[in-house]
Amino acid sequence: MFQAALWGGIASLSLLIGAIMAIFLHIPKKVVAFIMALGTGLIIGSATFDLLSEAEGKADMIYLISMFLLGALLFTLFEMFISKRGGSERKRSKKNPHGHSGIAIYVGTIMDAIPESIIIGVSFIESQSMQWVFIIAIFISNLPESLSSSIGLKLDHYSTKKILYLWGSVVILSSLSSLFGYVLLQDAPESTSYIIGAFGAGGLLAMASSTMMPEAFEEGGPIVGFLSSLGIILSFVLTHMS
């Protein structure tokens, strides 16, 4: 149980690390974009190979498809909602020209972090296999997210203390979400865990497609396509090695 909370926090710890790097170091935008592209590939690969492939034959296909599409739809609707309030800028390292509140950025990041963390918690249930590739993918993808977002928050005159507080609280919430996922679903049928994984996979793929991939290409250029492909094949190799 405590391992679930620990690894949920560790997967999101890169949010705090990225914020510290943004505050105290000068990270070129292209480097941020390259890390984001690799993280995008890892997210796509882990969602496909870890969350969907493992569910094959262990849960009703109609349920899996329905929950996958529901996860993608809910993320998209929520993304449309917070985009109108500045949340679409949470992964962008530039000053918000509209002066939207940083709270929208914060809420958008939480929207990404909670389903990821719940899935990590579920993976610690005895009947499930530990999804190390998924944890690695989340850790790597969180780094450029907080890097670019924290640069933008600095340009919007957020204090160092406030930026670190925001990201630190997301790490704590992620840890609690992993613990919640473990406790809530430890007695549930095995198929339930896989269905929830499909829901999370839909949300993650929608997130990677709508927020990570566009900025990675915008800042990094065509080479990010290769880096994303590298992330996908790396997740494939790691999945089959574990």
Q: What are the 10-residue block averages of pLDDT along the chain, 242 residues in total?
A: 85 90 85 86 83 74 89 84 60 49 64 78 66 78 78 81 91 92 78 79 83 84 94 84 66
- The per-residue pLDDT for 101 is 47
Q: Check if the beta carbon of residue 51 is closer than 8 Å to that of residue 134.
A: yes
Secondary structure (3-state) at 213 = helix
Q: Check if the beta carbon of residue 210 is closer than 8 Å to that of residue 77.
A: no
Tokens of 223: 């080479």
